[in-house]
A and B are shown apart, each in its own frame.
Chain A
Amino acid sequence: MNKLFISPSPHVYEDTTVKRLMFDVVIALLPALVFSIYFFGMGAIIVTLTAVVSCIAFEWLIQKFILKQEPSITDGSALVTGILLAFNVPSNLPIWIIIIGSLVAIGVGKMSFGGLGNNPFNPALVGRVFMLISFPVQMTSWPIPGVTRFTNWLKPISAADLDAVTGATPLGIIGNNVGKVLEKIDVATGDTLRHTVTIQDIYNGQVVINEEVVKTFDQVPEYASQLLGNIGGSIGEISAIALLIGFAYLLIRKVITWHIPVSIIGSVFLFAGVLHLINPEYYIAPEFHLLTGGLLLGAIFMATDYVTSPMSVKGIWVYGIGIGLITVSIRVFGVYPEGVSFAILIMNAFVPLINMYIKPKRFGEEVKNGQ
């Protein structure tokens, strides 16, 4: 007779593995990748491939030569980080910047804390924010959809190149203009006429003072374009529909639960909605916030990162609402038109605290205390 295996119960296991979860996330990201390749062409492919290859390579090199561990790149987590990093940058970003970003994401964001499971911050966002701060010009020059990546990728992009093919993101147009005061001296009377730019002016595409156009704006896209992704922005954030398809897949495969995305999106909608009700001239409608600036990408794929989100459902609500409020605050009151990345990183920092103080409700606990 064979020798019998002896082990404590349970003796059966769910077939879910870390690898399967990671590859499910990759599958869920594919629709967004397809949409961005359609809109940004080769640029999206080049940026994504560069980020993925360099993230995996850096993880392997660090594990092999610095940490002297058995490399664990087959678990798919570096692949996910690479794709998410690429999804958070413009499709014309120079390759060398992507490689530096990948090194920071994997090296600083993940491996320096001990690898998968130990990092306090989402590695892809660490890389993204590093690039945003270090290379602000390249990181905020958004190719207009339909214009493919051009010639020399290794050459730093000049201002002239940028103007030719880039446009601001919808949030950028609003953030940079609404609330600004425009002046014009009236020739007839010599008075200075002032006009504060409103949301309506942005939609009109121009500001008219005394029957003269004093400023024009890039067209803010229709909601339909935003749903499809025919707008300026980072590779992965532009198409709301593609991201929602990915969300549905993650829910069906039980990779994530609905709590984090819904708490973030819900709180953004409520907070932005209250501001819009108070003053619709200066605060754009809440649904605009939902469809722009990587909110869906962040809420569905970045904030839900297992390692850096809270363990209990109650904690998740605190975390999600926190991200929602900080996002809207940065977008509306801050200097950056876009706030999701910072909001997630800030709430990542609170996760250990949330886990410490917000515990799941134990079975029979309340009854015991009530006695």
Chain B
Amino acid sequence: MLKTFPKGGVHPAEGKYSANSVIEKLSLPKTVSIPIAQHIGAPSKAIVAKGDKVKVGDKIAESTGFVSANIHSSVSGTVVKVDKVLDSTGYKRPCVIIDVEGDEWNESIDRSIELKKEISLTDKEIIQRINESGIVGLGGATFPSHVKLSVPDGKKIDVLIINGVECEPYLTSDHRLMLEKAKEMLVGIQIIMKALSVNLALIGIENNKPDAISHLQNLVKDYPGVEVHALKVQYPQGGEKQLIKALINREVPSGALPLNVGAVVHNVGTAFAVYEAVQKNKPLFERIVTLTGKSVKKPSNFMVRIGTPVTELIEAAGGLPEDTGKVINGGPMMGKALNSLEVPVVKGTSGILIMPVVLSARKKESDCIRCAKCVSVCPQGLEPFLLNKLAQLGKNDKLETNAVMDCIECGSCSYTCPAGLPLLDYIRLGKSKVSQIIRSRKQ
């Protein structure tokens, strides 16, 4: 029996059309718009102004607190302006807009392709370098990585968990990375192990990627302390709490962080970025992005500079299909629908999914028949039908006692509802109300 998490979960059609597409370098765009808020936490502060010349890897915006991250230029050229531009959130946000001129890299970056295995930095220096390089969680949550590595006093971490699950349908960027950048990623994992001073790292991969599992299993023999575990395909296994439960059977308490059970979770993409930052002194300014969809001519995985407009990726994959109805930043379960294709790729963009019109509309709504399917698929053991009703009625106190804040917004309830109810829409509303109340109580 393959391991998996025990409670709830769904299995949407996988649609991994781009699983066999080798990572291609996307050609440089003419202009990039680099948002200065690409992470969870305080937005950074731009440190360049109109007319400044920048090189690839130059810092252009500075972290403004502990939970914040530096932003680096992904291109060389001239800063046109620092202005508000529509980004993938659907809002206009401050961006540094740079006209691309050539491809001149900051001299401190080691551009050699040899694998560098020896880790010369100390744990403190590693965390410092990761912080300096602007690395955030590349699985999509974009939480600044150095924060996760700075373990508070009194907490003991004994295992590092590496998330190679990629449970979102369609997306394949992590899958390709595990096949093509495996050695670099494994060194990255060892760097993180050193920073956390743990001796054990478990890589969790869903069983629908057997090539990645066997490839890594062959390689880990040379990387002591690193183990590869195949997991049963079940969404949302990539959720931190679900993955920890699946791999080491520890249950992160409600409202707490993984470090409360001695674990830290990082994505495979983050481990690769850590390798590049620590061993090659290369800040985070590019990432792998899957461009896929049922009608896409050439489903692809691109290495993309941050700030590249989504249209460039679509063109490189054969253009926008005629039957396009929806373009999603991320996977179909948790991704955000885009209202413009000019928005830039950011650190958290793991994929762009193009849905045909026929698959774009929502299911027709009818009355709840209390079938309890939402209850049985909720990986957090909540009662979505009830939270939905309470949120509609504005019963915030009851929402809180029914643990609305435990919701991880995986969308399994809305996905499975035979009555087509937008359960998660209302639960999100309720959650934001309740979190406002909780915050005001603390003040």
Contacts and interface: CB of A to CB of B under 8 A. Distances in A.
Asked if chains A and B come from one complex, the reply is yes
Interface of A: 1-2, 4-14, 16-18, 20-21, 72, 75, 77, 115-118, 257, 306-307, 309-313, 359-368, 371
24 contacts: A4-B325, A5-B360, A6-B339, A8-B337, A9-B333, A10-B333, A10-B415, A12-B333, A13-B414, A14-B418, A16-B418, A21-B418, A116-B367, A116-B369, A118-B367, A306-B372, A360-B381, A363-B245, A363-B251, A363-B254, A364-B252, A364-B255, A364-B380, A364-B406
A313 B372 CA distance: 9
A309 B375 CA distance: 13
Contacts of A365: 254, 381, 403
Contacts of A7: 326, 337, 362
B406 A11 contact: no
Contacts of B425: 8
B415 A311 contact: no
A364 B420 contact: no
Interface in B129-150: none
Interface in B308-362: 320, 324-328, 330, 332-339, 341, 353, 355, 357, 359-362
Interface string B17-53: 0000000000000000000000000000000000000
Given A10-B411, A11-B332, A368 B255 contact: yes
B220 to A, nearest CB: 30
Interface of B: 7, 10, 12-13, 90, 169, 241, 245, 251-256, 320, 324-328, 330, 332-339, 341, 353, 355, 357, 359-363, 366-373, 375-376, 378-383, 385-386, 402-403, 406, 409, 411-412, 414-420, 422, 424-425, 428
A124 to B, nearest CB: 15
B415 A14 contact: yes
Contacts of B332: 9-12
B contact face: mostly helix, strand, loop, or mixed: loop
A185 to B, nearest CB: 62
Contacts of B328: 9, 11
Contacts of B355: 5, 11
Given A13-B415, A363-B380, 17 more contacts: A4-B324, A4-B325, A4-B338, A5-B357, A6-B339, A8-B425, A9-B336, A9-B411, A10-B334, A12-B169, A13-B417, A14-B418, A18-B369, A306-B369, A365-B254, A367-B252, A368-B254
Contact of A371 (B253, B353, B362, B370): B253
A368 B252 CA distance: 9
A35 to B, nearest CB: 28
A12 B337 contact: no
A1 B357 CA distance: 12
A84 to B, nearest CB: 15
Contact of B420 (A2, A17, A361): A17
B416 A12 contact: no
B372 A14 contact: no
- For the complex of A and B, list the 6 residue pairs with the smallest distance between their C-beta atoms, beginning with the closest: A10-B411, A362-B381, A364-B254, A306-B371, A368-B253, A117-B367
A362 B333 contact: no
Nearest to A312: B375
B388 to A, nearest CB: 12
Contact of B370 (A13, A311, A363): A311
Contacts of B406: 362-364
Nearest to A359: B383
A366 B320 CA distance: 49
Contacts of B337: 4-9, 11
B370 A12 contact: no
Most B CB atoms within 10 A — which of A12, A16, A21, A311? A12
Nearest to A72: B366
A7 B252 CA distance: 31
Contact of B428 (A8, A115, A306): A8
Given A9-B335, A12-B359, A4 B326 contact: yes
Most B CB atoms within 10 A — which of A361, A364, A368? A364
A18 B370 CA distance: 11
Given A362-B382, A363-B379, A363-B406, A117 B251 contact: no
B418 A20 contact: yes
Contacts of B382: 360, 362
Contacts of B380: 362-364
A360 B418 contact: no
Contacts of A366: 251
A367 B249 CA distance: 13
A245 to B, nearest CB: 22
B370 A1 contact: no
Contacts of A13: 362-363, 414-415, 417, 420
A347 to B, nearest CB: 15
Given A12-B12, A75-B366, A17 B333 contact: no
A20 B333 CA distance: 23
Nearest to A256: B371
B342 to A, nearest CB: 12
A21 B371 CA distance: 10
Contacts of A10: 332-334, 411-412, 414-415, 424
B361 A5 contact: yes
Given A362-B403, A363-B241, A11 B326 contact: yes
Contacts of A72: 366
Most B CB atoms within 10 A — which of A20, A21, A360? A360
A363 B383 CA distance: 12
A72 B359 CA distance: 25
Nearest to A310: B372
Contacts of B325: 2, 4-5
Contacts of B90: 6
Contact of A12 (B13, B253, B366, B368): B13
Most A CB atoms within 10 A — which of B338, B371, B416, B422? B371
A257 B370 contact: no
Given A2-B325, A9-B335, A10-B333, A18 B381 contact: no
A14 B423 CA distance: 14
A9 B12 CA distance: 14
